[in-house]
Structure 1
């Protein structure tokens, strides 16, 4: 009996255990199913929320693009002042080619921009105002649509467009938009020039001197000039120095950069034109501006005109002048930078006179006027892709990219030497005497002018600097070339052409030359 009772108890325990196990399994199964349902709902809800968020983002983005993106006309309200060829007084305003446009005078030339939306020119206030408040008389001008092209059937090869050619203002406005788009506002501003008649008015101590000249006068007095360059050629006078500074308002715009700029150009002056004679009684860093012309070339041809007979775009753009005997002019080194070759004389002449032929026909002008120093300041300001300008190195607007750094190109005085004469003095692995001279002279002028930027002393050598890479940050697009995708347009490129984006009027010249048209006002 006891055995039977024990068996019964064991069976009951076994049954209870099985029941418990089944209950636990069902419980676990039910829990898993519940959690799966929760996960599915979370995924569904999460997906819906994500879709809603993305939809809202896309709707907002498209809406913002629609309402805030700039049309071509809206962009024109932000156009920077450029020369249009129409003389005026600064501040003067007048109606544009329609009542929806206004022309404002800047730097002596009219610039046309489009009035803001729902505004037009008001002749009473000479400004853009709300349409319902404006008073403007439309003229009977017929505006030519650039898209309506009627090409001549003449097969003579002249390719003259009889109709559909953009007017002068459209061409100039296109130029400005391209300059703004490619970020050339700053560099173009740095090489702007003052009219020569205004430059001639500059005198030491004149209260009417341009602002940058006043900054230079505060840093360097006539006495300082005499101390720095005691054996200079008489053409390099203090007055000529100030006039050369005045020609380029973008040079020495503020005192900090001015101190560094003067120290750099004085060091290079001294290497390029110094006597380098230890017997003269002055340390070499004070022997600069001794020579006005390249030694031995003033009365003979030193080979700088050898390219003149060649038929290239360099001689087409800047044709060499000839002497009375029919021989070519000599374009040997002249001035503080010893500027040489016809293409440099021609470019410099365009900035000085707006005409390349002036200095190409009479290069001796450089050796007989304030242009002797102005030529060096011009070279200091001009970028030469893939090289930056020396100013861009000093003011920090040039920043080396990975390709520059791979070639050892770093900001500092050494880089300015590389810009001036890198092919001869740099990348040799050892320091050449010319480069050592420049560094020594720079340290003296750095101290005398109390330059604050100590970083300029960090990389004084260019011995280990390789050439500027075409992919470097100095490869700016500053030249105009034909835009093959659009008629009557030129585009910006980094390789050298005969049309410079830094020369006012060269975009117009590019359009006219490439498309063989004459743009009318």
Structure 2
């Protein structure tokens, strides 16, 4: 996707305003970079995620330590409360009833551990909702999807392959690995090794295969990496280096519970469809998306299984048949406003949510709007978007990483460092430099934008564009408006200052006053094919020039600024 750069927005005449007190300052440790105070970052993040649903989503993804999880066994007195609820509403006898054809890697103990990892699954409610009923419905819903994703799909009448005459909805969890794949095979490595944010956050491991494993058939490195971060305290490399754990440990079921609880906004988490924490937006209602099993299909695989064109396709027909068989067996009532099907729904991937104000997103990306009061017009903020990025609004610290561009996912974004406190740059006004004609005296730490006026040493200057710290008398972003500049007396080269300890030899002054050096280089040939810098030309972010034997690249819009002076240029 081509992003809109700040200069494009400037040329389009579009500007933005914000209530956030963003005050980026030049980074004293990194020429060309900026520092921002952490409190400003936190205030911006809090304002963008003020809707209570963000807290609900984040709460649903809370986890217990693996040391606690691996101590879970059937009937153990120390089992967490949500695990005890599962044992009560879905005891091991029911597990055995539904898994008579299952692979041996799937066990009831592992099922309880997968649930124990996530306190929100079969958790408590404090608002009167029936937690036991929601728990039972959640488990049966999961098994309906297991039956489609990893089921045997063998007819009840096929005695040779199904001697127990099991219903197809009793044939879940037959496959622990995607058919045709085995450990040791490198595969599903599309995109691995590319220089992009996905590989920076979730780098593939040589020789590993990221084919489907587990009850949800987890696939591709970015899903293994994201799941690993949840399972192992933010460490993506555990499963990227050893994806086989998703087949051979309790992670084979935990991956499915994780998916069940994770919103892929604008798609809600399946749990929140079932327990009705989710409230469909008007756009979703208009698209036929409401409560019921059909919406969980749309969440999982809507692009392939939902919509009028997929009404008679085998996958959704089977999935709905398994749900209806399980719901009947376990006496789960279908409410009047619930739909088992999704053929009448617009798939989420085809749903136009542009401009909708009642839809929430869960990923951060750079805010590319133009801000006239900030360096280069850059926002120094991130915004919520409806597509996957390197940064999640549900992961603590990801907003700060987004602003810092931690994974290099924002092209042409300036270097940003977040600090606990900005340095104290307040300085008193020089008493010998009073205002001129009522125009305030220039302050070195203050940000000025095009059109602002200041007085400096007896003259008034007008800013041509954004500037901070540039002496008005030096030109550049400043133009003389009125008055006569006062210039300091030149240093007498004949009488250099004398150090009382190590006097300077007056016979050899450092500058020859008779033959001054011409500061303008008469010849400046291009370097590595880049054109020579032209003081009158306009350059935008990414433009390259040669200047006095070196090559430079513009960070943002500039004209008249020498490349070797630093911002807005960087040497390459």
Cα deviation 1:177-228 (Å, max 9, x = unaligned): 5433464111111111111111111111112211111111111111111111
The aligned counterpart of 2:136 is: 259
Q: Does the aligned pair in 2 maintain the 1:260–1:453 contact within 8 Å?
A: no
My pick for the range that moved more, 408-417 or 285-294, is 408-417
The aligned counterpart of 2:391 is: 499
* 1:213 partnered with 2:94: no
In the TM superposition, residue 384 of structure 1 has moved relative to its aligned partner by 1.2
In the TM superposition, residue 250 of structure 1 has moved relative to its aligned partner by 1.0
* 1:509 partnered with 2:388: no
In the TM superposition, residue 475 of structure 1 has moved relative to its aligned partner by 4.4
Q: CA RMSD in A?
A: 2.9
Q: Where in structure 2 are the equivalents of 1:323-338 lying within 5 Å?
A: 323=207, 329-338=208-217
Q: Which one has a larger percent helix, Structure 1 or Structure 2?
A: 1
Count of aligned pairs between the two proteins: 367
Q: Does the aligned pair in 2 maintain the 1:499–1:510 contact within 8 Å?
A: yes
* 1:277 partnered with 2:158: no
Give distance in 2, aligned partners of 1:342 and 1:186. 27
Any idea what SS the aligned residue of 1:184 has?
Answer: helix
Any idea what SS the aligned residue of 2:181 has?
Answer: coil
Any idea what SS the aligned residue of 1:230 has?
Answer: coil
Give distance in 1, aligned partners of 2:48 and 2:310. 41
Q: Does the aligned pair in 2 maintain the 1:229–1:288 contact within 8 Å?
A: yes
Give distance in 1, aligned partners of 2:312 and 2:357. 26
* 1:415 partnered with 2:307: no
Q: Does the aligned pair in 2 maintain the 1:366–1:372 contact within 8 Å?
A: yes
Any idea what SS the aligned residue of 1:268 has?
Answer: helix
Give distance in 2, aligned partners of 1:397 and 1:448. 26
Give distance in 2, aligned partners of 1:294 and 1:322. 20
Larger radius of gyration: 1
Quick one: which of 264, 268, 284 aligns to 1:384? 264
The aligned counterpart of 2:339 is: 459
Give distance in 2, aligned partners of 1:228 and 1:473. 43
| Runs of 5+ unmatched residues, structure 1 | 1-70, 73-144, 324-328
* 1:322 partnered with 2:210: no
Cα deviation 1:108-134 (Å, max 9, x = unaligned): xxxxxxxxxxxxxxxxxxxxxxxxxxx
Structure of greater relative contact order (alpha carbons < 8 Å, 6+ residues apart): 2
Any idea what SS the aligned residue of 2:317 has?
Answer: helix
| Runs of 5+ unmatched residues, structure 2 | 1-18, 124-130, 156-160, 407-414, 422-572
Q: Where in structure 2 are the equivalents of 1:11-410 lying within 5 Å?
A: 149-152=25-28, 154-155=30-31, 159=33, 161=35, 165-166=37-38, 175-176=45-46, 178-181=48-51, 183-253=53-123, 254-278=131-155, 279-280=161-162, 281=164, 282-298=166-182, 304-323=188-207, 329-353=208-232, 354-410=234-290
TM-score (norm 1): 0.64
In the TM superposition, residue 511 of structure 1 has moved relative to its aligned partner by 3.3
Any idea what SS the aligned residue of 1:198 has?
Answer: helix
My pick for the range that moved more, 250-259 or 392-401, is 392-401
TM-score (norm 2): 0.59
